[in-house]
Structure 1
Amino acid sequence: MKKLLVSLLFCSAGMTVMAQRAKVSSADENLKKQDLEKAKADIDAALQNDKTKNDAKTWLVNGKILEAMGTKQKSADLALEAFSSFKKALEIDPKMKEAILEMNQPLFNVYATVANAGYGFLNEQKWDSSVVKFKDAFSVADFYNSKNLGGSIPTDTALTFYTGYAAFQASKKDDALTFLKKAADLQFKGEPALYVVLGQLYEEKGDQANWIKIIEQGKTLFPKDKRFNDMEMAYYSKTGKTDQLISMLEKKIQENPTDQAAVLDYAIRLDNMANPRDNNGNDAPKPANYEELIGKAETNYKKAIEMSPADATANFQLGALYFNRAVVHNKQLNELDSKQQTSPKAKELQGKVEGLMNQALPFFEKADASFTAKGGNLDASDKQTYESCLYALQKIYAIKNQNDKVETVKKKLDALK
């Protein structure tokens, strides 16, 4: 009797194993029939049984079912569960024969579902979630490509760029630099923002060599995008390479002599170089070639005004050039002690202040008239410039004791606020 009992126990155990393996087969069959609910119930039963839960085939089928559910529901979470299941199957049996035949397409579907979830978060501007899902997609691709499953997922340059872009928006600067640099190395041509943002990152890091390199790459790929010319000029300006900057600006004007905007831009940049500011916005020491720079700026402001007499910005800028020089002389005048206030030097400075204020006034008045003509159509930049113009006019009118005009300007300033 004892032997018979033992024999029956072994037979029972064998029946249980067969039953659970039948569950795996049944799950696979139900998957083929697209009866995902029954397939998942069967495979869950097999995963809960000690005899089949460590079987590579069980985890392979579980992965296929989860992938089918994730693809159908467009669920990245289910897709990533499928990914974990596929990895588990290959951990248990790295050489399983079914992998090439049965894991190839499902793993690619997992990759696509997860990447699409990343794009969904990107469109919703949920930058952190987008980065997470994009990175998950790359993890799936790296795993797939490392397992010799009969195919490969090629490097997606667009996905690489958008991962970097989302990371930049999420203030993950290291991740942004890594992915954007890779996208640039891959010569991604789908979006000029790649080279704009990457240039900004190199600028922030103080990496001048890569900064100018990426600007030049952007210019080559997107020759009509004016942002790269602006970036190049900013590079030369911020790195103190003023000779190259001036040369570049002059070449631009020579190529487009009737481009009023280019002439005005040239004048403004010369003006800024002549009057540099530190990182806190305070006046920095004047360059050695100040007089040359400011003289060229004045000439080109006048040229821009000749080309477009009603240009509010050009008139304001030329008025500001004279006004700012008057402020410098006025500061020198105020620094004289009481005994020097009646000296020839004081009279000379006073004459310069009045002369420059008189030069500035008509240009500020023209700018005022042009801004007024625009009415409520001023953008933020115009509004700021107009406000500066009115403050300057108010000061000049006050010096001239033209109180009625001071009040008129005050009303215009109040209306801007």
Structure 2
Amino acid sequence: MKKTFLTLSAAISLSMGVSTPALAQQSAVTNAILNQRTGLLDKARVDIDKAIVNEKTSNKAKTWYTRGEIYQAMLESPIYSKNLQPGEGLQKSYESYGKTIELDTKTGEFGKQAVVKMESLYGQAFNDAVNSYNAKDYDKAIANYKLASQIKPQDTTAVLYSAYASEAKQDFAGARASYNQLLAMNYKSVNLYSRLLQMAKQEKNEAEAAKVVGQALVAYPGNKSFMLEDLNMSLASGKGEDALGKINKSIAADPNNSNLYAVRGSMYDQQKKGDLALADYRKAIELDPNNFDAQFNLGVYNYNRAADSYTKASKMDLKTYQTSGKKFESEGKKFFEASVPYFEKALLLQPDDRNTLSSLQKVYFRLGRTADSERLNSKLQSLNKK
């Protein structure tokens, strides 16, 4: 009878609600949820932080999901967000939802909800990054862009903007790492290679610049800017023939590429081979009348010929000028006139290009087209004030 009495006493004790450690911890999760629902996020946080470190509840998807919701709610609250350290709300929410998915998979009861919550966290992280960037808090911007990238590893936008933020704080190593991360994600853009090249130039790292140009030309073999960079590097290193060989090879492979002829024309110009340059510029325009560089350089070619003629006339003594001067001035005027349609077409293609505006303004002046000259001069002054 004594044994039966003890057994009954134990049963009575349990029925009267004497708690066990396991039940207490389950209660902590329940209390966290109740406090969250009633808006008492500070108390909910205390409860869930206890549950998350207890071995009885720390391996439950529900516990981690609840933690994510509480920290996300605090992050979004103008009151409770002040109780969080910078970046703490986003980081702990992300960590919690990630653990939920790990424990419950993406198809489980809480896992499915965590996936949706992750999507909203991406937007919060990205927006916080943008706001931090605009406030010139580049370190915080980079941290949030990286978190956004963790949330959506396949997304390239956050990685790209992280590179911009690193550049803004002159952290070229960080920017280069982000740009290279994009390349590894099969993201390509002319601007990406241009930024890598610009950084290499700022650091005066010729080897890195050459490497970037090589990569850029593999991705964009017909890009005029990269070809010019490659050619200029060859010329700067005393490899003029090597540069010419490169461009000739490119033209043989792509004979209808207007940009290639414009580039080779520029090369011939640098080498003082005017006739060859002229032929290439004309070929470039034949293939593409909207090739700005070819149009502008043809204008410059005629402008320079005109200037040479006038210079020769101005250097003559009186006797020589009386017999030959007018001839050279007449020749100069013809070259100025010949330059006009090329400069005008170039200006049509790029209306705010200062070099074109300045050159055409001078030509108009020399040809006595005063109104046109003054019009372009006014536009130049307006652009210079911006």
Unaligned runs of 5+ in 2: 1-18, 381-386
Task: Name the structure 2 match of 1:131.
Answer: 142
Using a 3 Å threshold, how does the CA distance of structure 1 residues 54 and 187 change in structure 2: closer, same or farther?
Answer: closer
For 2:88 and 2:325, how far apart are their aligned partners in 1?
75
Using a 3 Å threshold, how does the CA distance of structure 1 residues 86 and 226 change in structure 2: closer, same or farther?
Answer: closer
Query: 1:230 Cα deviation (Å)?
Result: 4.5
Asked whether the equivalents of residues 312 and 370 of structure 1 are also in contact (C-alpha less than 8 Å), the reply is yes
Question: SS at the partner of 1:243?
Answer: helix
Question: SS at the partner of 1:246?
Answer: helix
Asked whether the equivalents of residues 66 and 81 of structure 1 are also in contact (C-alpha less than 8 Å), the reply is no
Query: 1:66 Cα deviation (Å)?
Result: 4.5
Query: 1:304 Cα deviation (Å)?
Result: 5.5
Query: 1:201 Cα deviation (Å)?
Result: 1.6
Task: Name the structure 1 match of 2:172.
Answer: 173
For 1:246 and 1:199, how far apart are their aligned partners in 2?
22
Using a 3 Å threshold, how does the CA distance of structure 1 residues 250 and 361 change in structure 2: closer, same or farther?
Answer: farther
Residue 297, structure 1, aligned to residue 285, structure 2: no
| Greater CA drift, 214-223 or 99-108 | 99-108
The normalised TM-score by structure 1 is: 0.57
Task: Name the structure 1 match of 2:88.
Answer: 80
1:380-406 deviation line (CA, Å, top 9, x unaligned): 12x6414313314534x5xxxxxxx26
Task: Name the structure 2 match of 1:316.
Answer: 299
For 1:353 and 1:157, how far apart are their aligned partners in 2?
68
Which letter maps to 2:218? T
Asked whether the equivalents of residues 141 and 162 of structure 2 are also in contact (C-alpha less than 8 Å), the reply is yes
Alignment coverage as a number of residue pairs: 336
| Structure 1 segment 189-200 matched on structure 2, within 5 A | 189=187, 191-200=189-198
1:200-222 deviation line (CA, Å, top 9, x unaligned): 22232222323222333333345
CA RMSD of aligned residues (A): 5.5
1:302-346 deviation line (CA, Å, top 9, x unaligned): 655787899853541221332454588689x5xxxxxxx8599xx
Task: Name the structure 2 match of 1:250.
Answer: 248
Task: Name the structure 2 match of 1:394.
Answer: 365
Task: Name the structure 1 match of 2:162.
Answer: 163
Question: SS at the partner of 2:54?
Answer: helix
Asked whether the equivalents of residues 165 and 180 of structure 1 are also in contact (C-alpha less than 8 Å), the reply is no
Asked whether the equivalents of residues 264 and 300 of structure 1 are also in contact (C-alpha less than 8 Å), the reply is yes
Residue 43, structure 1, aligned to residue 23, structure 2: no
For 1:416 and 1:201, how far apart are their aligned partners in 2?
33
Question: SS at the partner of 1:57?
Answer: coil
Query: 1:24 Cα deviation (Å)?
Result: 5.3
| Greater CA drift, 103-112 or 257-266 | 103-112
Residue 368, structure 1, aligned to residue 305, structure 2: no
Residue 56, structure 1, aligned to residue 36, structure 2: no
Query: 1:166 Cα deviation (Å)?
Result: 3.7
Question: SS at the partner of 1:380?
Answer: coil
Using a 3 Å threshold, how does the CA distance of structure 1 residues 393 and 160 change in structure 2: closer, same or farther?
Answer: closer
Asked whether the equivalents of residues 193 and 212 of structure 2 are also in contact (C-alpha less than 8 Å), the reply is yes
Which letter maps to 2:89? E
Task: Name the structure 2 match of 1:4.
Answer: none
| Structure 1 segment 107-122 matched on structure 2, within 5 A | 115-120=122-127
For 1:82 and 1:23, how far apart are their aligned partners in 2?
28
For 2:318 and 2:332, how far apart are their aligned partners in 1?
26
Asked whether the equivalents of residues 36 and 65 of structure 1 are also in contact (C-alpha less than 8 Å), the reply is no
Seq. identity, %: 13
1:277-309 deviation line (CA, Å, top 9, x unaligned): xxxxxxxxxxxxxx4x44532443465578789
Using a 3 Å threshold, how does the CA distance of structure 1 residues 369 and 20 change in structure 2: closer, same or farther?
Answer: same
Using a 3 Å threshold, how does the CA distance of structure 1 residues 132 and 295 change in structure 2: closer, same or farther?
Answer: same
For 2:93 and 2:76, how far apart are their aligned partners in 1?
16
1:235-268 deviation line (CA, Å, top 9, x unaligned): 4355554333322233334445555554334223
For 2:39 and 2:371, how far apart are their aligned partners in 1?
82
The normalised TM-score by structure 2 is: 0.60
For 1:74 and 1:166, how far apart are their aligned partners in 2?
23
For 1:205 and 1:233, how far apart are their aligned partners in 2?
20
Asked whether the equivalents of residues 67 and 109 of structure 1 are also in contact (C-alpha less than 8 Å), the reply is no
Query: 1:413 Cα deviation (Å)?
Result: 3.5
For 1:85 and 1:259, how far apart are their aligned partners in 2?
53
Task: Name the structure 2 match of 1:29.
Answer: 30
Query: 1:365 Cα deviation (Å)?
Result: 1.7
Which letter maps to 1:203? K
Using a 3 Å threshold, how does the CA distance of structure 1 residues 250 and 43 change in structure 2: closer, same or farther?
Answer: same
Which letter maps to 1:296? L
Using a 3 Å threshold, how does the CA distance of structure 1 residues 36 and 62 change in structure 2: closer, same or farther?
Answer: farther
1:98-133 deviation line (CA, Å, top 9, x unaligned): 997489979998986665444446778747354230
Asked whether the equivalents of residues 368 and 386 of structure 1 are also in contact (C-alpha less than 8 Å), the reply is no
Using a 3 Å threshold, how does the CA distance of structure 1 residues 182 and 115 change in structure 2: closer, same or farther?
Answer: same
Asked whether the equivalents of residues 298 and 321 of structure 1 are also in contact (C-alpha less than 8 Å), the reply is no
Using a 3 Å threshold, how does the CA distance of structure 1 residues 135 and 410 change in structure 2: closer, same or farther?
Answer: closer
Using a 3 Å threshold, how does the CA distance of structure 1 residues 86 and 371 change in structure 2: closer, same or farther?
Answer: closer
